[in-house]
Amino acid sequence: MKRIAIFASGNGSNFQSIVDHIKAGKLEAEVGLVVCDRIGAKVIERAKKEQLETFVFDPKEYESKKHFEGEILERLHKNHIDLIVLAGYMRLIGPTLLQSFEGKIINIHPSLLPSFPGKNAMEQALTAGVRITGVTIHYVDEGMDTGPIIAQKAVEVEQGETIESLAQKIHDVEHVFYPSVIQKLLKSSN
């Protein structure tokens, strides 16, 4: 069974969706580690409820990104992680992790990349007045949302759409799409 690490910084709704898909037998994987860079984030509570090993850290307590990523790397190796899944992890991945897990780190982003990278992608889409946005799953590289695209799914932006209504539509897509793409990636890497 392939082992994944889920990195998250906030609420953890994509984390929960992945775990729920595993429990339902729709995603053949084990969560070997949950990494969170925000003390008090809701994802920590969710991970503890699922009795999953967590590593929660405050980046300010480390001398540099290299130092906290070094500690993360030790834990990833100790837990025999095959794939890192970013699920709302709001930090760029540095060379320490990129070199050790090259081609084995994926991210989900709430737009059709390369449009609207970075933070506030849904707000950017609404401001730009696009009729179609969506969800992108991509490999992680040193840039912000610049890695090779694995899969995309379009989401229609309706007249009078609010950030709340668009966010709900995007989350509804993410919560099914991400686990299915993870499953395909894990199957193809056997």
- Token code pair at residue 107: 């991210």
What is the identity of the amino acid at 156? E
Q: Is residue 175 flagged as an active site residue? A: no
Strand partners, 86: 7, 107
Among the listed residues 21, 67, 109, 171, the single catalytic one is 109
Q: How far apart are CA 76 and CA 91, in angstroms?
A: 17
DSSP annotation of 74 reads H
Tokens matching residue 22? 């595993």
C-alpha to C-alpha distance for 114 and 44, rounded to whole angstroms: 31
The sign of the CA dihedral 13, 16, 20, 21 is positive
Q: Are strands 105-109 and 149-156 parallel, antiparallel or unpaired?
A: unpaired
Distance from C-alpha of 5 to C-alpha of 84, rounded to nearest angstrom: 5
Contact 132, 154 (CB under 8 A): yes
Q: What are phi and psi of 120, to 5 degrees?
A: 60, 40
Tell me the catalytic residues.
Answer: 109
